Amino acid sequence: MRQGSLVNQEVRPCNFNDFYYFKGVFTDEIIEKTHAMVYDNGYEFSKGGTGYADAGEGIDHDNSNNRDIAYIPWVEHSHFVYELLEQCVIEANNVLFQFDINMMTDLLHYVIYPTPNQPDTLGQVRETGGHLDWHMDIGQGMVNRRKLATTVQLSDPNDYEGGDFQIWYGGSEGFITLPREKGDILIFPSFYLHRVTPITKGERRALVFWTGGEPFR
């Protein structure tokens, strides 16, 4: 487990200091169990939607139909993954963020960022590989209660190209590129601008999870 900034000395840390990082929490066995849970139970995939907040002036973003998502319900066969993520969020929040958190705001997302110019999970072909442009994970309605975002890397980094997870801090090259090792967990505030760059080869799989409480004031 590592906490805080992961940047090298050539890049400034993120503005809010910062994010919490767990190394290798999801073992190969847990990852395979997660894949099997999704496919053995026939969870249906749908197109991912848009980002919830404007990325800001001068930053282009188009988050429509750029990834495939299966929603994992809170049922007996999914308890193992929800409980593991809950433990990580509680630790990160107690040690670093200390937000008022008392709820899971969304179902767990199993996300596929597909390769370009080949049929994806839904049989559709995209000219641009799966990605998410600059956005925040907070907005109107229930997502207004999101306070911490959690993402789990399910893919081996050698299985795809592109697909970098980046957090914005400003400036001409104002982002941090996070590690992409299989089984790692990243937890960060939902109001951080972040993106996933387009996949250029292969595909990337991840879990995404949000926890929250009363909206920020």
Residue 175 pLDDT more than 90? no
Per-residue pLDDT of 24-69, as tens digits, reads 999 999 999 999 999 999 999 988 754 444 444 444 445 555 889 9
Closest CA to 174 of 10, 27, 4, 2: 10
How many Å apart are CA 166 and CA 112, to the nearest integer? 17
pLDDT recorded at residue 13? 41
Closest CA to 108 of 75, 146, 73, 156: 73
pLDDT recorded at residue 38? 96
pLDDT recorded at residue 153? 97
Residue 174 pLDDT more than 90? no
Average pLDDT over residues 72-101: 94
The pTM of the full predicted model, rounded to 2 decimals, is 0.86
126 CA to centre of own chain: 21
Which band of pLDDT confidence, cut at 50, 70 and 90, is reported for residue 196? very high
Percentage with pLDDT > 70 across the chain: 82
Do residues 166 and 175 lie in contact, with contact meaning Cβ atoms separated by under 8 Å?
Answer: yes
Residues 6+ apart with CB under 8 A from 6: 19, 21, 176, 178, 179
Per-residue pLDDT of 91-136, as tens digits, reads 999 988 889 999 999 999 999 999 998 888 878 888 889 999 888 8
Which band of pLDDT confidence, cut at 50, 70 and 90, is reported for residue 173? low
Domains recognised in the chain with CATH numbers:
2-6+20-212 (2.60.120.620)
How many Å apart are CA 118 and CA 217, to the nearest integer? 45
pLDDT recorded at residue 111? 96
pLDDT recorded at residue 123? 80
Half-sphere exposure of 173 (CA within 13 A, CB side): 4
Residue 214 pLDDT more than 80? yes
The phi and psi torsions of 85 (rounded to 5 degrees) equal -65, -40
